[in-house]
Structure 1
Amino acid sequence: MKLNKRNVLFIIVVVLLIIPQTRKSIQVLLHKGIALVNPVNVIDKKDRIILNDYSWKLKTETEEITNFNQFKGKVILINFWATWCPPCIAEMASLQKLYNKYEKRVDFIFVTADALDEKISNFKENKKYTFPVYQIMSKPPSELMTTSIPRTVLIDKNGEIIIDKSGAADWFSEDVQKQIDELLK
């Protein structure tokens, strides 16, 4: 009897994954679970890359063009994401908490693969997210080029890439906060 219940449960999950209206929610939930066990590791000092090129144009949600150069010499967290990406959505709540705690001392750059339109503003409004979203207007520095999302990069004041993480993660973990606190000293 127990085996039959497992089979029924398995079939229900498979069916829910096939139905477009439930698939994304289930994927986000699974990625939230993965994020809790997927550690964010600091790159060993000897393996760190230094970002030398800050020439990168970005468009803000208010249609202003900004240059990444203005962030040079500051602690920067860059997150590449999209509204259609379940792992991106799964980690957003922890990134928002991190933003809430450090927004005055760390520059957060959330770079979306989506167009900056109602879809982004509705997504942020529905989730009560307040972080700034940017769209790429020119080729990013080679060290920041990515073909997969989500990808999050933490850069120190000297341009050293301290954390470079692809995939969903818990960004409000004690380890990440401790690392940011160290960078802000």
Structure 2
Amino acid sequence: MNRKRISNIIFLVAIVLLVIPQTRRPIQVTLHKALAIFNSPSIIKETQRTKLKDYNWSLIDETGKSYNLKNSKGKVIIINFWATWCPPCIAEMPSLQKLYDKYGDNAEFIFVTDDSIDKIEAFKAKNSYTFPVYQTASNPPDGLTTKSIPRTVIINKKGEIVIDKSGAVDWYNSKIQEQIELLLKASI
């Protein structure tokens, strides 16, 4: 066989694998995991940061308990908008779980999705995730509305958005950990 024929066969196999639902998602997740390494969030300069004016945002956790973002005012907050069906969301979840494992006692982690509780529970159980997941009960404050997922926002104790990144990211990298350490040590 010549090279052109081999490359055509490989191309056709790749297309077929991307069309079949059972193989499409794992391929997409793997590609997004690879891309996440290069999709590094940048720290927003202090002079360009948006400050939350309103923390009034009602959420409902997986058990049906109400929660309001006002309870997190004055803390470091990490908010992730995601869905169980979203390949880039799935790709970044292991790194977010590691971040939660390391900083969950010191920072507020809020994972927001519109998925049903059944889907959330199954997804978390399948992947052994322990982070808290919420559904919205009211519109988010200005600065936290989103039309694309995944989107992760890190807010300092003063209510300023320090990091705002869409797309799959390796959130357990040293740059992010250093920034969270600085935010946790900072006073209001």
After TM superposition, the score normalised by the length of structure 2 is: 0.96
Once the two structures are TM-superposed, the CA of residue 72 in structure 1 deviates from its matched residue by: 0.3
Q: Given residue 78 of structure 2, which amino acid in structure 1 is its aligned partner?
A: L
Tell me what 1:131 maps to: 131
Once the two structures are TM-superposed, the CA of residue 110 in structure 1 deviates from its matched residue by: 0.2
Task: Specify the SS of the correspondent of 1:164.
Answer: strand
Task: Specify the SS of the correspondent of 2:135.
Answer: strand
Once the two structures are TM-superposed, the CA of residue 24 in structure 1 deviates from its matched residue by: 1.0
Tell me what 1:143 maps to: 143
Tell me what 1:4 maps to: 5
Task: Specify the SS of the correspondent of 2:165.
Answer: strand
Q: Distance in 1 between matches of 2:149 and 2:71?
A: 24
Q: Distance in 2 between matches of 1:91 and 1:16?
A: 22
Tell me what 1:120 maps to: 120
Q: Distance in 2 between matches of 1:38 and 1:4?
A: 35
Q: Given residue 31 of structure 1, which amino acid in structure 2 is its aligned partner?
A: H
Q: Given residue 173 of structure 2, which amino acid in structure 1 is its aligned partner?
A: S
Tell me what 1:90 maps to: 91
Task: Specify the SS of the correspondent of 1:50.
Answer: coil
Tell me what 2:50 maps to: 49
> Percentage identity across aligned positions?
56
Q: What are structure 2's unaligned runs of at least 5 residues?
A: none
Matched, 1:169 2:186: no
Q: Given residue 36 of structure 1, which amino acid in structure 2 is its aligned partner?
A: I
Tell me what 2:104 maps to: 103
Q: Distance in 1 between matches of 2:172 and 2:73?
A: 24
Tell me what 1:58 maps to: 59
After TM superposition, the score normalised by the length of structure 1 is: 0.97
Is this contact kept in 2: 1:80–1:113, CA < 8 A?
no
Instruction: Encode CA deviations 1:27-69: one digit per residue, 9 max, x unaligned.
Output: 1111111101111111111111001200000001110111110
Task: Specify the SS of the correspondent of 2:143.
Answer: helix
Q: Distance in 2 between matches of 1:13 and 1:36?
A: 23
Q: Distance in 2 between matches of 1:152 and 1:74?
A: 16
Q: How many residues align?
A: 184
Task: Specify the SS of the correspondent of 2:164.
Answer: strand
Q: Distance in 2 between matches of 1:12 and 1:40?
A: 34
Once the two structures are TM-superposed, the CA of residue 2 in structure 1 deviates from its matched residue by: 2.9
Q: Given residue 176 of structure 1, which amino acid in structure 2 is its aligned partner?
A: I
